[in-house]
A and B are shown apart, each in its own frame.
Chain A
């Protein structure tokens, strides 16, 4: 009796599982009589899903349906969800991919993305022309697997200082450029006036963009410095500049310029009194300097860059799913072309609905209205080309330069510092166990190192010893032999 019952239950359960759980994922089919293709596009949510996303996407769909016969279901997902989606084989048409989340190099090398080398030239020549030389960062072995988003392609690190305090009150000049260590007198001056305060904003994410002057090969652990005679992959601690910065940070930490619990606090954004912050952006970016936001005038001073490498160019990209049929792949390309060439359309996904979320200012820039700031405040790179969108002014009186992108790209040509190994990518799949072990060790030290909490000269030897025991040298040898092959 018992046995029979058990087997019946098992059979029922398995059948149920097979029927419900394992059926193939259904795909969107063309709706109605019209030839409209629906795409599932998954992008990064940058922390939160915009409240009015549905409404904005519907408005954008109306335009794109008319122009190219394509509609999208745009989903804003967290980094973890995107990783999980890629690892578990969920169906999508186009996904957000880059060098910092949902690794483009890794996924493209194992064949998760559609090879669009020919299609992009035939189907969407305008898109192909608009991206030009930047296609390089989307190539693996000479084939194109992704569509780079045109944005700030190099990284510039900058200090954001309270100009009211330093310039007007203390009479200190804030130059356009300085070096990393030049900030010290400013920190010192503030600390002397406010002994109980900590002048340099720092939270557990640590020094932003600390490795931007290095080409990152495995996260920030294995890097190639830009200024090497013969390019060679090394561990980050073998670069003097990195070590000097860590030493400076630790010095500032001990001097009380950095909050003692920096390594455990999540964010300092609400504390408007902090006079010095660090940011990563581009020349002319206004987001850091709106006085209405901060309660004082902010002046930025660049200390690094613009550094241009494969990782920096891969800041934001979209890739088409390998399992797409040809029709969907072409629709994805057409959609990206529309985003990259039609400014009015681009502004919808970028800023929302005109009149509700944003309005155009007389000089052609965009100003986000209250509803736009609260309910659809996405960063442009999340939804497509940044360069083709109108430039945002942070207030109606503090206008941005509508042609800033031309100047930024001009600067890359004249002042850009280019990596010598631009284009090299390492296929991590062979040494994945070592990488996992090494990253776990890195995570044991990184927060305190990047906030200045720990002394690099005591901590790094420990980290080095452990990483070497975990097989770091084997990994470096493997990377360097691949690099040598690539250089030939």
Chain B
């Protein structure tokens, strides 16, 4: 038992626990002397800075807006990222043609493997002012064309749509596996007792998926302040006009530090992200455990 866990534990120690000493960067004023080791530079050559490194985050008057964007999109992705794939997975299990459902799965999964840069350029093909497909269609219909990259009002929708389009197929596969694992005799019994499709979904599929859903929920809530940089920077092509709706914490940190390579500030920003994420993760786990005990149900939610 212990021996089997060994590779996993080693991995965690090497790649998650040991690098944690890096949080020291957030509280130091890092001064590197060329040719000396990282440890000497960090612990001996660099003076402590207290909370000074966090001040640049507070300098921006836009911080409330940036925080709002980050949390807004993450909450939507948290909910839609579970609801949409579950619904799709349920529908897909009802498709009886093996080949057809295979093709559907494949087509939905493919976008997951594209990089955001490529997705960004594909979208540009649709949304370009001059040569874009959508504006061609609009002008064919006699409608007014739109300067998409200068019109922030559309972009919350576009970003959520693109984000889901890319990730839904992947999460759907996870739920599909869980559904396949459900004992078919439950459905047969229910059908004999006269349960409709919706009844079967409500009383069998969803309760059986609860463990998977909770696990994924807990995993995702830890990154509530971390946003997908590719989605919010590459897809809108870093367009200035769109900045009110695309600026998330990661994008802000990138823009502020791109020219400076300041390790302290970026460490401070990611320290903040991780702390908030860790707290939310612990809270949500506690809440779920509490609910679970109250219900007296026997399953264990994401216990590690």
Contacts and interface: CB of A to CB of B under 8 A. Distances in A.
Interface of A: 1-2, 5-6, 9-10, 13-14, 17, 21-25, 27, 80, 83-84, 86-92, 110, 112, 204, 219, 259-261, 263-264, 321-323, 432-437, 439-441, 443-449, 453-454, 466, 469-471
A261 B242 CA distance: 13
Contact of A89 (B38, B128, B252): B38
A89 B33 contact: yes
B199 interface: no
A112 B34 contact: yes
Nearest to B45: A89
A308 B59 CA distance: 34
Given A432-B262, A437-B59, A21 B38 contact: yes
A24 B35 CA distance: 7
Contacts of B6: 5
B211 to A, nearest CB: 26
Given A14-B18, A466-B62, A1 B2 contact: yes
B37 A443 contact: no
B262 A90 contact: no
Contacts of B34: 89-92, 112, 321-323
Interface of B: 2, 6, 9-10, 13-14, 18, 30-39, 41, 52, 55-56, 59-62, 124, 128-130, 147, 149-150, 237-241, 243, 247, 252, 255-263, 265
B22 to A, nearest CB: 12
B60 A437 contact: yes
Nearest to A25: B35
A contact face: mostly helix, strand, loop, or mixed: helix
Contacts of A5: 2, 6
A99 to B, nearest CB: 13
Contacts, number: 142
Nearest first, the 5 A-B pairs at minimum CB distance are A89-B32, A469-B61, A437-B59, A440-B256, A433-B56
B237 A10 contact: no
A320 to B, nearest CB: 11
A14 B10 CA distance: 12
Contacts of A17: 18
Contact of B240 (A25, A263, A434): A263
Contacts of B258: 443
Contacts of B18: 13-14, 17
Given A89-B36, A89-B41, A263-B149, A441 B239 contact: no
B263 A87 contact: yes
A448 B240 contact: yes
B27 to A, nearest CB: 15
Contacts of A10: 13
Contacts of A471: 59
Contacts of B240: 263, 444-449, 453-454
Contacts of A470: 59-61
A5 B61 CA distance: 50
Contacts of A89: 32-36, 38, 41
Given A437-B256, A447-B240, A88 B32 contact: yes
B261 A436 contact: no
Residue of A80, A110, A434, A435 contacting most chain B CB atoms (<10 Å): A435
Contacts of B10: 9, 13
A21 B260 CA distance: 25
A219 B255 CA distance: 14
Given A323-B33, A440-B255, A448 B38 contact: no
B190 to A, nearest CB: 44
Contact of B2 (A2, A204, A432, A436): A2
B2 A24 contact: no
A250 B285 CA distance: 54
Nearest to B37: A22
A457 to B, nearest CB: 16
Given A88-B38, A89-B38, A437-B60, A432 B239 contact: no
A130 B279 CA distance: 63
Nearest to A84: B261
A448 B149 CA distance: 11
B141 to A, nearest CB: 20
Contacts of B265: 433, 436
Contacts of A83: 260-261
Among A14, A86, A470, find the residue whose CB has the most chain B CB atoms closer than 10 A.
Answer: A470
Given A263-B239, A436-B260, A440-B255, A91 B2 contact: no
Given A110-B31, A445-B240, A436 B36 contact: no
Contacts of B52: 433
Given A433-B52, A440-B256, 13 more contacts: A80-B261, A87-B32, A88-B38, A89-B38, A112-B34, A263-B239, A263-B240, A321-B34, A323-B34, A436-B256, A439-B260, A466-B62, A470-B59
Contacts of B237: 204, 264
A89 B261 CA distance: 12
A287 B260 CA distance: 32
Contacts of A86: 32, 261
27 contacts: A1-B2, A9-B9, A22-B37, A22-B39, A23-B37, A24-B35, A24-B36, A25-B37, A80-B261, A83-B261, A84-B261, A89-B34, A260-B129, A261-B130, A264-B124, A264-B237, A434-B59, A435-B260, A437-B56, A437-B59, A439-B260, A440-B255, A440-B256, A444-B255, A447-B239, A448-B240, A469-B61
